[in-house]
Amino acid sequence: MAIRPTSANARQQRLLDELEHCGDEMSGQQLHRVLQDGNQPMGLATVYRHLRLLQQQGLVRCRHLPNGEAMYAPLGRDRHHLTCVSCGQTRVLPQCPIHDLTVPKEQRQDFALLFHTLEFFGLCSHCQSQQETAG
């Protein structure tokens, strides 16, 4: 039995709308700037608080870049990435290589799965060539 995501309040809905509109991931800082430039500004702490609540409600996913920055996207946007650990360059994978994988019920125990994240870390070709010339 899966737990269904709960509904968002007005502020959370504004964040969801911006995430949907951008078509990509956004950081809390980026969301804050967009809202500040619009007609309904929201404080930075409020943005992060509501993003955390949206995650807990199963409406938003978060991934962390090598520099520690958190990037947010709507849960329905199932994207996975290749990320360079040196420069932070990120490429979207065209499809999820583990999409059809499931966690056996006995391993899930009392967890209701909402989503998964998948990210591969390595060195982009530019950073590889820089390492080769330096070493």
Domains of the chain with CATH codes:
10-134 (1.10.10.10)
Is the whole-model pTM more than 0.75? no
**Is 58 within 8 Å of 5 (Cβ atoms)?**
yes
pLDDT truncated to tens, each residue of the chain (135 aa)? 344 445 678 899 999 999 999 888 999 999 999 999 988 889 999 999 999 999 988 899 898 888 889 999 998 777 888 888 889 888 888 888 887 788 888 888 888 877 777 788 889 999 999 888 886
Q: At what angle do helices 28-37 and 10-22 cross, to 10 degrees?
A: 100
Cα–Cα distances (Å) from 121 to 12, 106, 135, in that order, read 31, 30, 21
Rounded-to-integer distance, Cα 9 and Cα 11, Å: 6
